[in-house]
Amino acid sequence: MTQNRRIVLAARPEGAVRPEHFRLETQPLPAVPDGHLLVRNRFLSLDPYMRGAMNDRKSYRKPQAIGETMVGGTVGEVVESRHPKFAVGDVVVGGFGWQLYGLSDGGGGLRKVDTSKVPMQAWLGPAGMPGVTAWVGLNRIIAPKAGETVVVSAASGAVGSVVGQLAKAQGCRVVGVAGGAAKCGLVVDAYGFDACVDYKAGRLEADLAAATPDGIDGYFENVGGAVLDAVLGRMNAFGRIAVCGLIAGYNDEPIPVQRFNSVLLNRLRIQGFIVSEVPDAWPPALAELAAKVADGSLKYRETIAHGLDAAPAAFIGLLRGENLGKQLVALD
Ligand code: NDP
């Protein structure tokens, strides 16, 4: 008999996440009541926000419950439907979490996607939540003008790579910051950034200065810590900073900021945002991003782990920067 397999949060991490914080469980498949559908998930998206959800503290989202399926975005096929709007074979993006099957009443943001021109898993990456995140932070907060310099941290990743390509298409000078020569090579050669600073090379301040001769007008922040400080030191008057993520601090490391005075000296505007709280941006962003994925003008990379059992190690790797591009799990 077919069974569902899922990964639950077994314990809350203090500091770094380890395999023992997760537990694999097997369950019978749920019955499908009237008005519901059953989805066989094919890809699971692993995202940095999941680290925050593992904590039990004040945040913009409620904590992941102990013993419950780990939260997460998924894409898969409808395998049984008693819902008028969904048919067997439809491909749907949902939030079924770290498990093979998901039962839905059609709500909770479940939506059909067209995989004729955009591959199924890209709806979790450049044509999905990470892409929309890039679009919102760039267009709604940084709002760059042609000729301005935009810097992006975690530039080789799912969000950062899209930010840079969108900014470049708007005529900006685009500089990425990423960890290691391989990631920086990808950022310049595949994604077309003008330059990339390897923050692990030990010359962050000097290399950032060399890459931003006219200063920085817009900064898309994914990381925090030393990179943020170096950027603050090069911001131009009336610069804008979109605070999207602070991954350097997700394992509870402190992320001190030394150059906060730049905010006043340069009359900066700094705004944090959560993409799920900007619903009006999703339709135009998804339309633009999916079209660019379909015509090949938006480049992206994926790191794919195979099998649900591989999800914890892949997630731990993501938090260590081991992924190249969007981290996915193929639920083979
Ligand atoms: P990525 O694909 O970029 O993967 C995470 C990357 O972060 C790693 O590859 C690594 O790149 C970098 N990183 C990991 N640990 C550290 C560390 N300790 N210090 C510095 N860099 C680190 O992830 P996403 O593109 O999915 O997410 C990027 C950011 O966007 C995250 O901060 C995430 O939380 C945020 N986000 C926010 C959303 C919102 O609504 N506000 C929605 C979606 C994402 P490298 O090796 O280059 O350092």
Which tens digits make up the pLDDT trace of 133-174? 999 999 999 999 999 999 999 999 999 999 999 999 999 999
Q: Over range 32-52, report the average pLDDT.
A: 97
Of 122, 123, 100, 118, residue with least CA distance to 41: 100
- Cβ contact 228:257 at 8 Å: yes
Cα distances from 193 to residues 213, 285, 309, in angstroms, run: 15, 21, 36
Residue 255, pLDDT score:
79
For ligand 1, whether the C-beta of 50 sits within 6 Å is no
Residue 143, pLDDT score:
98
* Dihedral, CA of residue 118, residue 122, residue 124 and residue 129, to nearest 10: -80
User: For the chain, how big is the Rg over CA atoms in Å?
Assistant: 20
Residue 60, pLDDT score:
84
Tokens of 221: 């922040």
- Cβ contact 49:70 at 8 Å: no
pLDDT band at 226 (very low <50, low <70, confident <90, very high): very high
69: which DSSP letter?
B
Alpha carbon distance 61, 52 (integer Å): 9
| 180 alpha carbon – ligand 1 mean position (Å) | 14
Residue 165, pLDDT score:
98
| 165 alpha carbon – ligand 1 mean position (Å) | 17
| 112 alpha carbon – ligand 1 mean position (Å) | 27
Residue 79, pLDDT score:
98
| pLDDT higher than threshold 90 for residue 35 | yes
Alpha carbon distance 327, 315 (integer Å): 8
pTM confidence score: 0.96
Of ligand 1's listed atoms, the one at least distance from the Cα of 251 is 18
Tell me the sheet residues that pair with 219: 151, 241
Residue 52, pLDDT score:
92
| pLDDT higher than threshold 80 for residue 210 | yes
Of ligand 1's listed atoms, the one at least distance from the Cα of 322 is 9
- Cβ contact 100:303 at 8 Å: no
Of ligand 1's listed atoms, the one at least distance from the Cα of 246 is 32
pLDDT band at 70 (very low <50, low <70, confident <90, very high): very high
Residue 58, pLDDT score:
82
| pLDDT higher than threshold 90 for residue 248 | no
Of 19, 303, 76, 72, residue with least CA distance to 183: 303
Residue 229, pLDDT score:
95
For ligand 1, whether the C-beta of 162 sits within 6 Å is no
Residue 189, pLDDT score:
98
Greater pLDDT, 58 or 173: 173
For ligand 1, whether the C-beta of 154 sits within 6 Å is yes
Of ligand 1's listed atoms, the one at least distance from the Cα of 178 is 47
What are residue 98's phi and psi, to 5 degrees?
Answer: -80, 75
| pLDDT higher than threshold 90 for residue 332 | no
Alpha carbon distance 228, 233 (integer Å): 9
For ligand 1, whether the C-beta of 244 sits within 6 Å is yes
Of 306, 274, 256, residue with least CA distance to 49: 274
For ligand 1, whether the C-beta of 179 sits within 6 Å is yes
For 277-324, write each residue's pLDDT tens digit: 999 999 999 999 999 999 999 999 999 999 999 999 999 999 999 999
DSSP string, 204-272: HHHHHHHH-TT-EEEEEESS-THHHHHHHTTEEEEEEEEE---GGGTTS-----S-THHHHHTT-EEEE
Of 298, 276, 285, residue with least CA distance to 132: 285
Ligand 1, atom 13, residue with closest C-alpha: 321
* Dihedral, CA of residue 196, residue 201, residue 204 and residue 210, to nearest 10: -50
CB neighbour burial string for 210-235, b if at least 16 within 10 angstroms, e if fewer: ebbeeebbbbbbbbbbbbbbbbbebb
- Cβ contact 255:246 at 8 Å: yes
For 249-265, write each residue's pLDDT tens digit: 887 777 789 999 999 99
For ligand 1, whether the C-beta of 275 sits within 6 Å is yes
Residue 65, pLDDT score:
92
| 323 alpha carbon – ligand 1 mean position (Å) | 10
Cα distances from 209 to residues 59, 175, 178, 246, 260, in angstroms, run: 35, 11, 15, 22, 18
Of ligand 1's listed atoms, the one at least distance from the Cα of 275 is 40
Mean pLDDT of the chain: 96
Q: With pLDDT > 90 as the criterion, what percentage of the chain qualifies? A: 92
